[in-house]
Amino acid sequence: MIRAGPWDHGPVTQLSTQRPGQSLHQPGHNAPPNVLGDVPLGPLDGRYRATVAPLAQHLSEAALNQRRVHVEVEWLIHLTATGAVPGLRKLTPEEITHLRAIVTDFDADAVAELAETERVTLHDVKAVEYYVKKRMEGNSLSDLTEIVHLFCTSEDINNLSYALMVRDAVALVWLPAAWALHEDVTDLAFELRDLPMLARTHGQPATPTTLGKELAVLAHRLGRQLRRIDKTEFLGKINGATGTFSAHVAGAPDTDWIEISRTFVEHLGLTWNPLTTQIESHDWQAELYSDVARFNRVLHNLCTDVWTYISMGYFIQVRGQGSVGSSTMPHKVNPIRFENAEANLEVSNGLLGVLEQTLVTSRLQRDLTDSSMQRNIGIAFGHSLLAIDNARKGLAGLDADPEALARDLDATWEVLGEAVQSVMRVHGLEQPYERLKELTRGRKVDAEVMREFVAGLGLPEDVAKRLTELSPATYVGVASKLVDQLG
């Protein structure tokens, strides 16, 4: 049977008595009263708000409206400055300052005012247009109010606003956090560059490496993706209802509107897209989200590897660990930072994948799927940022345990079979692989067994001495030197 919440004082309802299609909102299934107030629905606006708050300045609905105001204002200034519209007067420096102050003064009250206006217009960009016009009335700009939004379709404003939002969110918030993580992993790689570790391929003991070299591999992978993201082109367009400048030409036929469009988009610090439908094609967004998702996957790999090293005892969680590891087992310190990061990376990649796949397609010259999809950009980046933060905190709480690594190495002398049979090949001995296979496969080999085998091979004295002195802990090649490739 199912009981309703503590607010329900009706009879207990038997599950089997509910008829198909019967509503749960009946006696026994009353909705809870609104006793919790205005509470967040999702974790990014709840328990994780402090971590992702910087993104809200760039990827929230309020940030979108602020960028829309910015684009509308700059378009008006551009039209007057370029003489694109015959007879349109120039703005004074004071008027330009007044217009740009509409953007810099945009605050919580402005957000509320726009929301109120949108309840009347039922159109978000039209509400922005009215918001700008209202601030031009009753002063020297009142004669130019109808120039606001001139020749523009909503997507002329929206595509530029989103490009500015995403550009700033990536450049000012996400990338600095991601690079800081990369630096953390790099520092740890250099710190542990000389610490030998038993490698595992397919989960089985394999040729030893160093813990620092393995972290360097992950740092190198993260850095490659960040450099790709750092080169992202943020495209924009302003060319009318179907990308043909038709209204522009009708209103001012002698103006070079292609050039006016290009210079305006570039003035905003974006890359001009000359060929679009009503919407900018969003291909640059798909490319960016694919790169961010790939970074997320590499970070996910780092988290699972570090989690595994912790479970094997190679890392001890000691620094800054004041949290409760288990509600019943006081000895435990769980690797929750890495587990939290894994989960948030998966959520982020789920959203980034949908954005990437959906935004590149629009039916004919326009459909509205992109409008709803783009409102989730902040959530996708928020979960990635949260994962980065957790991974950094997890890494900061780690100390390597050289004794644990040494124990595993000393228990697996059979991994020297690769070295011995390679030397045998170099010196022309018969069946080197097969002889080492017989010696090592399915058997535990210790130092004494391996050294006796080497002594009986008849190798040159200096070669035999070099092999005899080799141990799993010293059989790491140039692993330490490879860390220098991180630069």
Q: Active-site residues: which are they? A: 202, 326
Distance CA 61, CA 112 (A): 12
Q: 392 in helix, strand or coil?
A: helix
Distance CA 203, CA 296 (A): 23
Distance CA 214, CA 210 (A): 7
Distance CA 240, CA 260 (A): 13
With a CB cutoff of 8 Å and minimum separation 6, the contacts of 320 are: 393, 396, 397
Task: Check residue 27 and give left, alpha or beta (phi > 0: left; psi -120 to 50: alpha).
Answer: beta
Distances (CA, A) of 399 to 66, 199, 316, 369, 394: 45, 19, 5, 48, 11
Q: Are strands 315-317 and 398-400 parallel, antiparallel or unpaired?
A: antiparallel
Q: Which of 120, 232, 225 has the alpha carbon at shortest distance from 182?
A: 225
Rg, the chain, Cα only: 32
DSSP 314-335: SEEE-TT--S-S-SS-TT----
Answer yes or no: are the C-beta atoms of 430 and 396 closer than 8 Å: no
Distance CA 125, CA 118 (A): 9
Question: Which residue type sits at 45?
Answer: D
149: how many CB neighbours lie within 10 A of its CB? 22
* Token pair for 237: 């367009």
Distance CA 227, CA 451 (A): 48
Q: 438 in helix, strand or coil?
A: helix
With a CB cutoff of 8 Å and minimum separation 6, the contacts of 465 are: none
C-alpha torsion angle, residues 477, 201, 400, 412 (rounded to 10): -70
